[in-house]
């Protein structure tokens, strides 16, 4: 009797060992920013004088084109305040690299909106962290909500089409989830909800701001009920609750994605801007391609990862131990449970680690240290 073929690997299983080129990646163009959001993942604020030059950026784009990287997510800091921002966006598009840029909206006026509406391969993502000014400005600064809404109005007036609204889910804004959806619908925009990691300045307020376990369960249910809402696959640790969300459902760092920072340094992802997760520099001989294919960091990440302390848990196949950035910056071993493990295995480890010296960011470009004031609404 002919045997049926054995069950093939899941797509996620195949991606774990990495590809010869990223599918897409994040590129922080500058550490300069006109805002000082409390939880900034890149600790941005001041421009670093050693930022990649225009020519160096063009060389990176040329490499991405050769490697057939389809899409680049440009951020920062605030990428639009780089003087050569528009030139680089046009250059990328002209070299087969699609662009999405993430912005606080401060440079999107009527003219810019019209220009964006006329370009076929550029996507725009506006960042907010509250569905109203009180909640948003509490973390992003006074006037930032109004600026973001104004940018959205300009995009709508220019008939841009479907831009993205991106929100980092916190204890304070999770209750506004339906309002975020209504806001996106009002503008014909696509809503994107992402996970708050203890990265960059986020480490300072993570304990106060990260969602409670009850909120995580509520969020998971809501995302299942709203499959059109994007998440950047940032909630794959919630798969341990039962149903998987759309996406690859695995950590893509060093396997299908990575980060290039404003100085050309390559990290596993934007949430681990720390020497421990630095793979190399595009200024090294061999450039980006050599780092992607041969760096010790990425080669290591593409090897089968040990389940470690999670080996006996029935949910490990679903959650794979969660996010390494979340573990690293809360002091949990990388083969341990996620700090927000839905079963609860992470909570004790986080508490225990709090007394120890935790890893701190390798680069801090903050202009000021902003602390979280009273909770919005009293």
Partner 1 sequence: MPFDPDKSYRLHDRVALRPEPFGALAYHYGNRSLNFLRAPELVALVRSLGDHDSVRSALSASEIDERRWPSFEKALASLARSEVLVAA
Partner 2 sequence: MEPTDVIDAPEAELVDTDTQAVGEDALVEDELLVEEISIDGMCGVY
Which spans of this chain sit near partner 1 (rule: CB under 8 A)? Answer: 8, 11, 14, 19-21, 23, 68, 70-71, 96, 98, 120-121, 123
Gap between the Cα atoms of 376 and 378, Å rounded: 5
Binding partner 2 by CB under 8 A: which of 29, 37, 40, 41?
41
Q: Pick what 330 binds: partner 1, partner 2, none; C-beta below 5 to 8 Å, kind-dependent.
A: none
Per-residue binder mask for partner 2 (CB under 8 A), 82-121, x = binder: --------------------x-------------------
Does 246 help bind partner 2 (rule: CB under 8 A)?
yes
DSSP track, 27-65: EEEESB-S---TT-TT--BSPPTTPPPHHHHHHHHHHHH
Q: Pick what 120 binds: partner 1, partner 2, none; C-beta below 5 to 8 Å, kind-dependent.
A: partner 1
Nearer to partner 2, 9 or 53 (CB): 9
CB 29 within 8 A of CB 60: no
Nearer to partner 2, 248 or 282 (CB): 248
Does 166 help bind partner 2 (rule: CB under 8 A)?
yes
Binding partner 2 by CB under 8 A: which of 24, 69, 131, 273?
24
Shortest separation between residue 5's beta carbon and partner 1, angstroms: 10
Nearer to partner 2, 3 or 357 (CB): 3
Gap between the Cα atoms of 98 and 160, Å rounded: 16
Q: Give, in degrees to the nearest 5, the angle at Cα 296 between 294 and 299.
A: 65
85-to-30, 75, 253, 263, 265 alpha-carbon distances in Å = 10, 11, 26, 15, 19
Does 233 help bind partner 2 (rule: CB under 8 A)?
yes
Strand order in the sheet with 122-127: 190-195, 164-169, 122-127, 98-103, 71-76, 24-30, 259-260, 265-267, 278-281
Gap between the Cα atoms of 329 and 163, Å rounded: 32
Binding partner 2 by CB under 8 A: which of 85, 236, 288, 292?
236
Kindly tell me the sign of the dihedral angle through the C-alpha atoms of 167, 169, 175, 177. positive
User: What is the contact surface with partner 2 in residues (CB under 8 A)?
Assistant: 1-2, 4-5, 8, 11, 23-26, 41, 70-71, 73, 75, 102, 166, 192, 194, 230-234, 236, 246-248, 250-253, 256-259, 268-271, 323
């Amino acid at each position: 009797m002919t045997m049926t073929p054995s069950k093939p690997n899941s797509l996620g299983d195949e991606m774990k060992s990495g590809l010869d080129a990223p599918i897409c990646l994040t590129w922080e163009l500058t550490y300069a920013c006109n805002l000082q959001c409390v939880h900034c993942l890149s600790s941005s604020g001041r421009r670093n004088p050693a930022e990649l030059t225009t020519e160096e950026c063009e060389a990176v784009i040329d490499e991405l084109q050769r490697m057939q990287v389809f899409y680049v997510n440009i951020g920062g800091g605030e990428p639009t305040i780089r003087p050569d921002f528009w030139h680089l966006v046009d250059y990328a598009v002209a070299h087969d690299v699609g662009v999405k840029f993430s912005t606080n909206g401060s440079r999107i006026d009527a003219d810019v909106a019209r220009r964006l509406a006329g370009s076929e391969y550029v996507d725009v993502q506006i960042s907010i962290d509250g569905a109203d000014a009180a909640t948003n400005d509490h973390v992003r600064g006074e006037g930032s909500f109004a600026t973001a809404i104004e940018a959205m109005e300009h995009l709508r007036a220019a008939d841009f089409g479907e831009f993205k609204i991106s929100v980092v889910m916190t204890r304070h804004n999770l209750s506004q989830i339906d309002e975020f959806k209504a806001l996106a619908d009002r503008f014909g925009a696509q809503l994107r909800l992402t996970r708050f990691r203890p990265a960059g300045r986020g480490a300072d307020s993570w304990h106060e701001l990260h969602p409670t376990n009850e909120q995580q369960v509520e969020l998971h249910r809501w995302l299942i009920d709203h499959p059109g809402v994007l998440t950047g696959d940032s909630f794959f640790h919630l798969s341990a609750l039962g149903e998987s969300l759309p996406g690859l459902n695995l950590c893509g760092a060093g396997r299908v994605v990575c980060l290039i920072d404003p100085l050309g340094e390559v990290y596993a992802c934007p949430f681990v801007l720390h020497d421990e997760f630095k793979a190399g520099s595009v200024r090294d001989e061999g450039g980006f391609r050599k780092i992607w294919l041969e760096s010790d960091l990425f080669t290591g990440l593409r090897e089968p990862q040990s389940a470690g302390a999670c080996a006996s848990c029935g949910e490990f196949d679903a959650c794979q131990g969660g996010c390494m950035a979340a573990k690293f910056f809360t002091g949990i071993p990388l083969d341990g449970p996620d700090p927000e493990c839905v079963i609860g295995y992470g909570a004790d480890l986080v508490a225990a680690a709090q007394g120890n010296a935790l890893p701190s960011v390798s680069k801090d470009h903050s202009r000021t240290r902003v602390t979280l004031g009273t909770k919005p609404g009293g």
